[in-house]
Amino acid sequence: MEWQITVDCADPAPLVRFWAAALDYVVTPPPEGFETWNAYYLSVGVPEDELDLGSDGADRIMDPSGAGPRFWFQVVPEPKDGKNRLHLDLFPTRRDRSLSLEERQRIVDAKVTELEALGATVWRRLDDDPSHYAVTLRDPGGNEFCVA
Residue 60 domain flag = yes
What SS3 class is residue 1?
Answer: coil
- From 29, 50, 75, the end of a domain falls on 75
Residue 135 domain flag = yes
- From 14, 45, 75, the end of a domain falls on 75
Same domain, 31 and 66: yes
What pLDDT shows up at residue 131? 85
What pLDDT shows up at residue 111? 98
59 and 37 Cβ atoms separated by less than 8 Å: yes
The closest of 44, 37, 86, 72 to 58, measured between CA atoms, is 37
E strand residue ranges, 10-143: 26-27, 60-62, 70-75, 88-90, 121-126, 134-138
- From 41, 75, 109, the end of a domain falls on 75
In this model, does residue 100 exceed pLDDT 90? Answer: yes
| Banded model confidence at residue 17, pLDDT cuts 50, 70, 90 | very high
Q: Which domain holds residue 142?
A: 88-147
The closest of 109, 148, 107 to 129, measured between CA atoms, is 148
What pLDDT shows up at residue 130? 82
Residue 118 domain flag = yes
Same domain, 54 and 106: no
Residue 83 domain flag = no
Same domain, 8 and 70: yes
Same domain, 54 and 95: no
Same domain, 45 and 105: no
Residue 122 domain flag = yes
What pLDDT shows up at residue 118? 97
Q: How many structural domains compose the chain?
A: 2
